[in-house]
Amino acid sequence: MSTLVIHHGDCRRHDPGPRHPEQVRRTEVVLEALGTLSGIERIPAPLATPEQVGRVHGDDFRRWLASMEPEEGRVPVGEADNLVNHGSLDASLRGSGAICYGIDEVVAGKAANAFCVTRPPGHHSGTDFAMGFCLFNHVAIGARHALALEGVERVAIVDFDVHHGNGTQQVFEDDPSVMFVSSHQMPLYPGSGHPEETGQGNILNLPLSPGAGGDAFRATWSRVGLPAIDAFQPDFILVSAGFDAHIRDPLGALELVEDDFEWITRELATIAAQHAAGRMVSILEGGYDLEGLAFAAKSHTRALVDAH
């Protein structure tokens, strides 16, 4: 079996502007970096269905987003720098569709695992709000999709983006069938992710100080994050794979390198093998320095390939 790399050209239709960090080239440089890897299979992402999206986002929110998409130009949704243009919603629906498709293929035994190379990201979007370059919350939609499948009763969501996944936390803070574990820089946008934010005991936040590097990242995950996921015994692991904790990234001040992303992916794959028959799907979140993003995403994907 292969590692699926799920993507779609529609993701290039979302264009918040030439000086915006969440630029069109993000997915392109990742796909180019993965060109030399063996053990992957590239698959086009379907559009998420209304049923899949509706497990997280209500009708009013979806209608509002649809009403905001302009025929021409760009308009802000939720925040001044969260811009949409004609084509943004289809791009976001490809991300949500990608993670649901990857989950289906892995559960069916047709793929070992998957990495969804899509944009815009999703982890700042909540049930009824959009922010932080995000429209639909793909990983949350994926978790609810997985829980609707036979044999999946517990899902762990792991988020190592430099920014806290506040939207994902909001969706699941009262749902003990999902564990959300996040490492992130603090202080930093969006200002959430404090250790005392625990939900129903299913939320675990691991803030890191500006300037923290691989040693602090690995120690925190080894001491707290990974044992908690192991104790949860998930039936499926989903990863919000944000690479903006890379030392080159302009939007954060953590100092991870590509080996750190490869390390956390291998550790998660080990837990997935122990409890979830290896079932793991990741989706691209942040990462705004193109060179750092390409290096880190390739290391992440190499670890997924090596897991099977």
pLDDT, one tens digit per residue, over 76-88 is: 999 999 999 999 9
- What is the pLDDT at residue 73? 96
**Distance of alpha carbon 58 from alpha carbon 55, whole angstroms:** 8
Is there a contact between 4 and 114 (Cβ–Cβ < 8 Å)? yes
Residues of the chain with pLDDT > 70: what percent? Answer: 100
Domains of the chain (ranges, CATH numbers): 3-306 (3.40.800.20)
Contacts 24+ apart (CB under 8 A), 74-78: 74/15, 74/16, 74/17, 77/130, 77/135, 78/129, 78/130, 78/131
Average pLDDT over residues 63-69: 96
Q: Above 90 in pLDDT, residue 184?
A: yes
Q: Above 90 in pLDDT, residue 36?
A: no
End-to-end CA distance of the chain: 7
- What is the pLDDT at residue 193? 98
Give start and end residues of each alpha helix (H) in the chain.
25-33, 50-54, 59-68, 88-107, 138-147, 166-172, 214-220, 226-232, 258-275, 290-306
* Helix orientation angle between 258-275 and 290-306, rounded to the nearest 10 degrees: 30
pLDDT, one tens digit per residue, over 126-175 is: 999 999 999 999 999 999 999 999 999 999 999 999 999 999 999 999 99
pLDDT, one tens digit per residue, over 245-262 is: 999 999 999 999 999 999
- What is the pLDDT at residue 62? 97
Residues 6+ positions from 11 with CB-CB distance below 8 Å = 27, 45, 91, 94, 95, 118, 119
Name the residues annotated as catalytic.
Answer: 124
The residues that bridge with 156 in the sheet, in sequence order, are 179, 237
This prediction's pTM: 0.98
